Structure 1
Amino acid sequence: MSKKNSRRSFIKRASLTSAALSTSPFLLAASSNNRLILSRSYTHQEFSANDQINIALIGTGIQGIFDTQAALKVDGVKLVAACDLYTGRLERAKELWGQDIFVTRDYREVLNRKDIDAVIIATPDHWHQTIAVAALNAGKHVYCEKPMVQNFNEGQEIIKAQINSGKICQVGSQGMSSLGNEKAKQLYEDGAIGDIVMLDMYNDRYSAEGAWQYPIPPDANTNTVDFDTFLGNAPKVPFEPKRFFRWRNYQDYGTGVAGDLFVHAFSTLNYVISSHGPNRALATGGLRYWKDGRDVPDVSITLYDYPKTETHAPFNAAFRINFIAGSGGGGGFKLIGTEGEMEIGQNSVTVNRSKLSMTPSGYSLISFTEEMQQKIKNEYAAKNLEPRRSSLSTGTTTWEAPSDYKGGHYDHFNNFFTSIRSNGKVIQDPKFGLRAAGAALLANESYSRKQPVNWNPTEMKLM
């Protein structure tokens, strides 16, 4: 069904009687505030020891632990090994998952094990490409945390390794498989907001932890931390615990707010509207408050241009991050279209459709005589620019996940492991991951150059 016909169908359904409203999850009614429950069914399966998927965690930090906890909720999955460069995290891994798991500070020992089917890569960004390629070449399925790469030129190697190995590679923007994303895509394709004209994304934080000032354990030293291996191909510097435990604050190891936060938004946006991404970016910002040695901004604003494609009109996107938001924090992700707006979260989607005023009001009529005002009103009335159906198709509807929903993080891993078992397709493969990461990295490139930058979203190349 074409986008135009789909939109017409949506409006037709939205113009039905209120009696029909209670039976259709797509309908909106004038002056309504409907709340509808989404659903997702899960099938519980029993797997023998021989049928289990054995996984290993490489990078046992904050995100690595959350990833593994989500992964182990999926039936038939077992953690058998963990790797990290800080011995305290290896001890933590045994606390969480048992004293019998294999632990090491060398990821190559993990890849050499024959009993490991898949690995979760949750290392600092500058190690993603090296370990992902090595894991795929070693015959392991890979779940790689976002952003898939630290630099634009690293992505093609992962794509090539995945194709040559025939293994599954899922990029870890965990909200991608959520009920919210799934419903938003359905609504967008059904024409719920018309043609997209703008995206508004923001993330405000107001805490030291939210600004990546993570705690440093008092036993951090050159014996407990393999700092030289952590540096990898980054510039050699003396041991500095802040660089290891707060690596997101440094360009040598991380990708700043763009790689940490923008990439989630691009994953959702590109998925919902079936896009390859933007073709131009202009960034600004600065280091306003958290002057703790970091060399990345704590306030970032980036404007993106999306070109016209078969699935969307040309539009603009605004991405804003503030790590010193005195308001207390918050966030939002909103698609704004010609006929409505859609706010998307992992657990809910809200569509709001308003009536577009097409006739002049007292503001513009005030300069005419009373007689002329009436003539103008009569002319506009004859044109019937605001038919009754435009009012009937307005209102607000929210679709919410049920209270027992397992969450987008679980769904993303469920998609990953199901694809391994069925040799199917993941929702976020390396090509998708590079397009999301590439779009995010444009912000860093523009900020560094102090000028707009161009990107080919189809060929995934910096212009």
Structure 2
Amino acid sequence: MNNPRPPRSDSRRAFLKRSAALGACLIAAPQIVRSQVLGRKSVPGANDRINLAFIGHGKQMGGHVAVVETPGVQPLYVCDVKAKALAAAKADMAARGFPDVVATPDYEDIMNDPAVDAVFIVTPDHWHAAIAIAAMRAGKDVYVEKPMTLTIAEGKAMVEAERRYGAVLQVGSQQRSEHAFRKAAEMVRSGWIGEIKEIHTRLGSFPPPTLGPAEEIPEGFNYDKWLGPAPFEPFTANRVLGDYGGGWRSYWEYGSRKNGDWGAHHFDIAQWALGRDDSGPSLFVPKGYEGEEYQYHQYDDGIKVIRDYPIERNHMIRFVGSEGDIWVSREGRLDTSRPELAKRPLGPDDVRLYESNNHQQNWLQCIRSRQTPICSAHIGHRTATICQVAGIAERLNRPVRWDPVKQRIVDDAEASRWEDRPRRAGYELPA
């Protein structure tokens, strides 16, 4: 079981001939069979191992490595540009019964190994797109943390790569795999609280990024590669800190601050509940503009999603309808202004959404069946776009209009330049 490269069985080749006949991913979802799949390397069948690599071993990776306990899963690589983090990741795999896992500071080693079937990408946001596209181009499936990308242009490239290479890509918006959020979205979609007027989301705030004097780069840390496509800046410990309360998440160079941190979760659920996974808002207004008390974005039909509007009962999201309210949070918390609604089961005519009860397992199941996971690149891109345009409006301190059909900023050349960002030489986005 500890062999890092088990032999690949002929059943993988046979899988391509029978993939259309396989059942759904143990969940209700439409099957999408792409012709591009025929050009991929052999993919795991029902009885094959899925050989995994894990890239980026900060705090967030801790929620993913337990998948190695899943029957039929084999870890082959751990990867990080920080020597201490890499050593700790290898030791953790050994403790889990996989001492032969390869530790590498270079993700390219993983891309060049055809034995790897799929990768977890849990790096800072500015590295998501490049590694994910490289993985898909190499015939690997991808689990990438949220927000899926740093820029709108990267998101479009990710959607195209998913289509072109027939990859199974899951974005780590795991609230879609939590029962309370799904039930809240189904209640909204089924009209239980009437016409939706507003959605309130609680994101919190980060302190301003720390811009202190340069510090000594720790031994065994490839800081230049950590920066990657981002502009060169002198090293400081806070700049690279993987801390939920700040660190790299508070710098515009590597993320979208709180819009990308918690917004990627809560804006995603708003999109799902409104049935807007193929669309998005058309207006983004930052806090403070002409006295606006709260940041918000607005859809063409007038529905507003308001950031950090006070939410009763310490909930994360509130849906405000013409006939009542719904409050929802993690840990299965679901409340309604009409108490009987929270416990009422869905009826035969109510909307039922894609059911996944474990985000990582949904992805693994879909790797085998070649079905679409609950949060594909298309969905991840639409949600990340909201985070990104909200950030652009915040940085410009004025409203930004967005065309969700053409997927571009409207009549604002200065804001449009932020749809992408320059990349440092040597760190261009893969095709």
- TM-score (normalised: structure 2): 0.72
1:159 is aligned to 159
1:278 is aligned to 281
Cα distance in 2 for partners of 1:149, 1:204 equals: 21
Q: How does 1:297-336 map to 2 (within 5 A)?
A: 301-308=294-301, 314-320=302-308, 331-336=315-320
Bigger Rg, which one:
1
Q: Count residues in correspondence.
A: 339
Flag as ranges the 4+ runs of structure 1 deviating above 6 A: 47-50, 210-214
Q: How does 1:61-460 map to 2 (within 5 A)?
A: 61-69=58-66, 71-72=67-68, 74-98=70-94, 99-204=99-204, 221-245=217-241, 246-275=247-276, 276-284=279-287, 301-308=294-301, 314-320=302-308, 331-346=315-330, 347-353=332-338, 395-399=339-343, 411-460=358-407
Q: CA deviation at 1:50?
A: 6.3
**Secondary structure at the counterpart of residue 153 of structure 2:** helix
**Secondary structure at the counterpart of residue 51 of structure 2:** strand
Residue 147 of structure 2 contacts residue 260 of structure 2 at CA under 8 Å; is this kept in 1?
Answer: yes
Q: CA deviation at 1:410?
A: 6.4
In the alignment, residue 332 of structure 1 is paired with which amino acid? Answer: M
Residue 305 of structure 1 contacts residue 315 of structure 1 at CA under 8 Å; is this kept in 2?
Answer: yes
Residue 264 of structure 2 contacts residue 383 of structure 2 at CA under 8 Å; is this kept in 1?
Answer: yes
Q: CA deviation at 1:278?
A: 1.2
Q: Deviations over 1:304-359 (max 9, x none)?
A: 11123xxxxx311101299xxxxxx9552010101111112242322223xxxxxx
In the alignment, residue 390 of structure 2 is paired with which amino acid? Answer: A
Relative to 1, partners in 2 of residues 1:220 and 1:343: Cα closer, same or farther, differing over 3 Å?
farther
Q: CA deviation at 1:458?
A: 3.3
**In the alignment, structure 1 residue 60 sits paired with structure 2 residue 57:** yes
Residue 200 of structure 2 contacts residue 309 of structure 2 at CA under 8 Å; is this kept in 1?
Answer: no
What runs of 5+ residues in structure 2 fail to find an aligned partner? 1-25, 28-43, 242-246, 345-354, 411-431
Cα distance in 1 for partners of 2:357, 2:340 equals: 29
Q: CA deviation at 1:177?
A: 1.7
Q: CA deviation at 1:277?
A: 2.2
Residue 55 of structure 2 contacts residue 80 of structure 2 at CA under 8 Å; is this kept in 1?
Answer: yes
Q: CA deviation at 1:140?
A: 0.5
**Secondary structure at the counterpart of residue 374 of structure 2:** coil
Residue 304 of structure 1 contacts residue 317 of structure 1 at CA under 8 Å; is this kept in 2?
Answer: yes
Q: CA deviation at 1:269?
A: 1.1
Relative to 1, partners in 2 of residues 1:82 and 1:330: Cα closer, same or farther, differing over 3 Å?
farther
Cα distance in 1 for partners of 2:143, 2:161 equals: 14
Relative to 1, partners in 2 of residues 1:186 and 1:140: Cα closer, same or farther, differing over 3 Å?
same
Cα distance in 2 for partners of 1:338, 1:396 equals: 17
**Secondary structure at the counterpart of residue 318 of structure 1:** strand
Residue 174 of structure 1 contacts residue 409 of structure 1 at CA under 8 Å; is this kept in 2?
Answer: no
Cα distance in 1 for partners of 2:55, 2:155 equals: 19
Cα distance in 2 for partners of 1:113, 1:285 equals: 51
Residue 128 of structure 1 contacts residue 149 of structure 1 at CA under 8 Å; is this kept in 2?
Answer: yes
Cα distance in 2 for partners of 1:166, 1:397 equals: 41
Q: CA deviation at 1:221?
A: 3.4
In the alignment, residue 320 of structure 1 is paired with which amino acid? Answer: D
In the alignment, residue 89 of structure 1 is paired with which amino acid? Answer: A
Residue 55 of structure 2 contacts residue 78 of structure 2 at CA under 8 Å; is this kept in 1?
Answer: yes
Q: CA deviation at 1:230?
A: 0.9
Cα distance in 1 for partners of 2:149, 2:196 equals: 29
Cα distance in 2 for partners of 1:49, 1:334 equals: 41
**Secondary structure at the counterpart of residue 398 of structure 1:** helix
Relative to 1, partners in 2 of residues 1:301 and 1:88: Cα closer, same or farther, differing over 3 Å?
farther
Q: CA deviation at 1:213?
A: 10
Q: CA deviation at 1:409?
A: 9.6
Q: CA deviation at 1:94?
A: 1.9
Q: CA deviation at 1:188?
A: 1.9
**Secondary structure at the counterpart of residue 287 of structure 2:** strand
The answer to which structure has the higher strand fraction is 1
Residue 192 of structure 1 contacts residue 351 of structure 1 at CA under 8 Å; is this kept in 2?
Answer: no
Cα distance in 2 for partners of 1:154, 1:257 equals: 19
In the alignment, residue 181 of structure 2 is paired with which amino acid? Answer: N
Relative to 1, partners in 2 of residues 1:332 and 1:238: Cα closer, same or farther, differing over 3 Å?
closer
Q: CA deviation at 1:121?
A: 0.7
In the alignment, residue 237 of structure 1 is paired with which amino acid? Answer: E
What runs of 5+ residues in structure 1 fail to find an aligned partner? 1-40, 287-299, 309-313, 323-328, 354-394, 401-407
Cα distance in 1 for partners of 2:184, 2:177 equals: 11
**Secondary structure at the counterpart of residue 224 of structure 1:** coil
1:23 is aligned to none
Residue 175 of structure 1 contacts residue 409 of structure 1 at CA under 8 Å; is this kept in 2?
Answer: no
Q: CA deviation at 1:418?
A: 1.2
**Secondary structure at the counterpart of residue 85 of structure 1:** coil
2:48 aligns with one of 36, 46, 51: 51
In the alignment, residue 163 of structure 1 is paired with which amino acid? Answer: R
Relative to 1, partners in 2 of residues 1:192 and 1:74: Cα closer, same or farther, differing over 3 Å?
farther
Residue 56 of structure 1 contacts residue 118 of structure 1 at CA under 8 Å; is this kept in 2?
Answer: yes
Relative to 1, partners in 2 of residues 1:459 and 1:420: Cα closer, same or farther, differing over 3 Å?
farther
